[in-house]
Amino acid sequence: MIYMILYIPLIFPASWFLDRVGLRTTAICGSLGTCIGAWIKVFSVDPSLFGVGFVGQSIVAASQVFILSLPARIAAVWFGPDQVSSACSVGVFGNQLGIAIGFLLPPVIVRNHDDLDLVGQDLQLMFYLIAGFTTVLVILVALFFQAQPPTPPSAAQSATKTNEQSPFLHSIQRLACNRNYVLLLISYGMNVGVFYAISTLLNQIVLIYYPGHEIDAGRIGVAIVFAGMLGSVCCGVVLDKTHRFKETTLAVYAFSMIGMWIYSFTLNTGYISVVYVTFFMTGYLPVGFEFAAELTYPEPEGTSSGILNAACQVFGIAFTILYAQLLNGYGDLAANLTMAIMYDRNRSERNRIKFCYFTFNCLHFSSFLKELKTRNYAIIAFHFVYFSVSIFVLHFVWIFGDLIIELNNFLHRFFLVLFLRIDLRLT
């Protein structure tokens, strides 16, 4: 949570810093701060030194602000028009790879022990590994990372270099007045905020249904992140081939909703279908960055993508807190404003589940309306039909509760054939 909280106020000075000093200095500062924070955490294993660990984690969280805005800027500076989306997707790919490692390694290294001293030893080992790895990264960035290529990759990039940069606050004002960008900001923040909520509370969700499977929960986290990495690259390639930003955005958003439906109805059946959601939700990351750059040109890519990330943190904090409150209040019922419902056999609680599901669909439907600006009436009609069907499904689940499990099993086998599937059967 500290990552999300610190990102929001720090993104503006970090974007200004990136515009003024360039890629190389920003990358060095971000990686160096991460390294310093990691080494501080090495000395915080003792329970009495929690404050030291919090300081180290805060430094790491502040440093990531310098890093997350780099993919869009690196892609624009180093690559031509037909490669920029793919390059941005590779940058997002690297970010997701780090998240995957974060899901996988902690449960493997830090195991459950009755002896707290053994837990402390495992934590100490993990902190040393992270600190050593970040130290190597700082050295590599300082030695090999360059601010820009010897020659511009395109005529447009050459012209951008010769133009005088406008004041940073003026860029912020123009972005705030760009209606298309604001609409993208809302829809992008909601979509990625849902992903943040899912990934943040994934362990807690899985352990409700499968107690004692901490390592399996970590493996599921790895699976969803790798699915997201694949989605990022695929969406980047599609954008480079088609340059159809709006159509790609709408398709990714629609498939994200479908994936959420599948995930909601299959968690308690023993199959983890969250990969559907993350494939498209994470695939939306490079699409949003490049769409924002397209809508806001000639504003700096680092600024537009940084504000997009800030919106993600705002929605991510809101959705995560709300989901945690609902989860604690409803016990093992999977009630969520960001991911539809998880079916429960207790008929007395279904009205609460219906409320959560209804609210989720309201959020998605309103975001689509804002993104489309009520101009494409055919697509708006499609989403209106979707919304109506959603309400029908609510009553279907409420009335025919015993039938829904058999429907879930059928949907599992159906989508197993139609879609790329990464399933982990928990035993």
- Per the prediction, the chain carries an average pLDDT of 69
pLDDT digits (tens, 9 = 90+) for 104-144: 778 778 777 777 777 778 888 888 998 999 999 999 989 98
CA 350 – CA 345 distance, rounded (Å): 8
How far is CA 364 from each of CA 97, 106, 255, rounded to the nearest angstrom?
A: 28, 34, 12
Contacts of 131 (CB under 8 A, 6+ apart): 35, 38, 39, 41, 42
pTM above 0.75, yes or no: no
Among the ranges given (45-59, 268-282, 326-340), the one the predictor scored with the smallest mean pLDDT: 326-340
Ordered by start, the domain boundaries in the chain are 69-109+167-418
Coil/strand/helix, residue 237: helix
pLDDT digits (tens, 9 = 90+) for 32-78: 999 999 999 888 888 788 888 888 888 988 888 888 778 777 877 87
Q: Which CATH superfamily is domain 69-109+167-418 in?
A: MFS general substrate transporter like domains (1.20.1250.20)
pLDDT digits (tens, 9 = 90+) for 220-241: 777 777 777 777 778 777 877 7
371, 376, 377, 383: CA torsion to nearest 10: -40
∠ Cα 191 197 203 (to 5°): 140
CA 370 – CA 9 distance, rounded (Å): 26
Residue 398 has pLDDT above 60, yes or no: no
Coil/strand/helix, residue 341: strand
> Which of 56-60, 178-182, 346-350, 398-402 reaches the highest mean pLDDT?
56-60
Asked if residue 406 lies in contact with residue 222, where contact means CB atoms within 8 angstroms, the answer is no
pLDDT digits (tens, 9 = 90+) for 242-251: 778 777 777 7
CA 85 – CA 286 distance, rounded (Å): 7
DSSP per-residue codes, 378-426 = HHHHHHHHHHHHHHHHHHHHHH-HHHHHHHHHHHHHHHHHHS-------
145: left (phi over 0), alpha (psi -120 to 50) or beta: beta
Strands 334-335 and 341-342: antiparallel
